[in-house]
């Protein structure tokens, strides 16, 4: 029984430890124009595209993985876009989101064997 408990606990822990934090938006209203995707810039870096994340069969949201960022303050700039056959690519105004990733604790010092 103990082994089963530890096996379940191990898989629950590793499953949550592997989950990355994401920056997400509220889902777009079903009556609103649904974007095809988003253009994203982190900390003034290169612009990348993120596909729209389906929430239901008729609504999407913004979802961007920030699990690999270094500790410190970060600024995310996001625009939604819609590709139109006549007008080309239409972009929203920019949304800005700031967040901070905490630093890891310091390395323990003075390790030694104790009687």
Q: Which domains does the chain have, with CATH numbers?
A: 21-101 (2.60.40)
Q: What is the pLDDT of residue 19?
A: 66
Instruction: Tell me if 75 sits within 8 A of 97, measured CB to CB.
Output: yes
Share in percent of the chain as helix, strand, coil (round to 5): 15, 40, 45
Spell out, as residue ranges, where the chain has pLDDT lower than 50. 4, 7, 14-17
pLDDT tens-digit readout, 79-101: 999 999 999 999 999 999 999 99
Non-local (6+) Cβ contacts of 84 within 8 A are 90
């Amino acid at each position: 029984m103990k082994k089963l408990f530890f096996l379940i606990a191990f898989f629950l822990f590793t499953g949550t430890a592997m989950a990355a934090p994401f920056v997400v938006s509220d889902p777009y209203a079903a009556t609103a124009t649904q974007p095809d995707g988003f253009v994203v810039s982190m900390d003034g870096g290169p612009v990348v595209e993120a596909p729209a994340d389906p929430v239901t069969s008729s609504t999407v949201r913004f979802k961007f993985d920030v699990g690999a960022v270094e500790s410190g303050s970060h600024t995310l700039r996001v625009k939604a876009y819609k590709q139109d056959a006549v007008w080309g690519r239409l972009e929203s105004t920019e949304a800005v989101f700031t967040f901070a990733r905490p630093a890891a604790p310091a390395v323990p010092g003075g390790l030694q064997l104790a009687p």
